[in-house]
């Protein structure tokens, strides 16, 4: 009886895990959604890792850039510029959790773009940045 309950629990646990991960997005999914959004805007140029790298390092209105907190190497652990809180690596190759949940991606782009640029990032900027981050290896 105990063996049956244990086996049933394992099956339920496995099925729950399968259900939860079956709907997880990938950085490629996020990039495809950004491309669909950017394609609808006039002047869309396709995404560029070079532009993304430049965007990552260039300082905005508040003398901040992405690299202010995420370091010059997005595969390294960063630290929040004001609070000192540790930040997991930004590059998906070094942190497989990055860019796997569209809701979180939208939330953090909205917050951080406003902090750095004092405005929302465009779909072009987001796509360029993610394209760059996907080229970064450990």
- Domains defined along the chain, listed by start: 27-133 (1.10.760.10)
Backbone angles phi, psi at 91, to 5 degrees: -75, 130
Run of H or E residues at 78: strand 78-79
Task: Kindly indicate the confidence band of residue 3, based on its pLDDT and cuts at 50, 70 and 90.
Answer: low
Q: Answer whether 118's CB lies under 8 Å from 76's CB.
A: no
Mean pLDDT of 92-97: 96
What percent of the chain clears pLDDT 90, i.e. is strictly above it? 76
Q: What angle do CA 94, 98, 89 make, to 5 degrees?
A: 40
| pTM across the whole model | 0.81
């Amino acid at each position: 009886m105990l063996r049956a309950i244990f086996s049933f629990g394992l099956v339920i646990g496995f099925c729950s895990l399968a259900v939860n991960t079956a709907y997880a997005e990938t950085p490629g999914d996020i990039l495809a959604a950004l491309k669909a959004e950017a394609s609808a805007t006039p002047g869309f140029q396709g995404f560029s890792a070079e532009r993304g790298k430049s965007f990552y390092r260039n300082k905005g209105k508040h003398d901040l850039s992405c690299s202010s907190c995420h370091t010059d190497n997005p595969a390294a652990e960063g630290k929040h510029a004001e609070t000192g809180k540790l930040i997991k690596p930004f590059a998906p190759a070094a942190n497989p959790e990055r860019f796997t949940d569209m809701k979180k991606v939208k939330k953090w782009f909205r917050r951080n773009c406003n902090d750095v640029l004092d405005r929302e990032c465009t779909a072009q900027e987001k796509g360029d940045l993610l394209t760059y981050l996907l080229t970064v290896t450990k």
